[in-house]
Structure 1
């Protein structure tokens, strides 16, 4: 049985809803986790830690969620 994956268009790109939600959760956890690791009396460090957490979440999401695009070059289309 081949289930049809639910897709949604965001900013002109088509993405799978499951992957989108998973990446939002990963980024949210790493951003807030790093933010709360910073000293509570230092707003600059809180901002810096939060930004580092966001980048870390992006990297983790990029490694876990693989692209699902199929790209055909124009030359390949002419041969078929």
Structure 2
């Protein structure tokens, strides 16, 4: 017997497909997407504008802000996927 996982692309809150859009063959909640975009943009631009005005520093501060924004979003926004384990016989 072989154990496999089947992914269900459906919101756990029910069949509210109006709240989801498809991005790269994956369903994304619009609210979570907008919050992520805002947090990452604010962090990246904040790092860029707070950096000293010497040439490489704004780039590094902006990239650091974007990475920090990604980490914050990955902690607070959880995936909505549901995996069901099924068994297959060869």
TM-score norm. by structure 2 comes to: 0.75
Counting helix residues as a fraction of each chain, which structure ranks higher? 1
Equivalent-residue separation in structure 2 for 1:35 and 1:3 (angstroms): 41
Runs of 4+ with >4 A deviation: none
Comparing both chains, which one has the higher relative contact order based on Cα–Cα distances under 8 Å and sequence gaps of 6 or more? 2
Unaligned ranges ≥5, structure 1: none
Q: CA RMSD in A?
A: 1.7
Unaligned ranges ≥5, structure 2: 1-13
Equivalent-residue separation in structure 1 for 2:57 and 2:41 (angstroms): 18
Query: How many residues align structurally?
Result: 74
TM-score norm. by structure 1 comes to: 0.83
Counting strand residues as a fraction of each chain, which structure ranks higher? 2
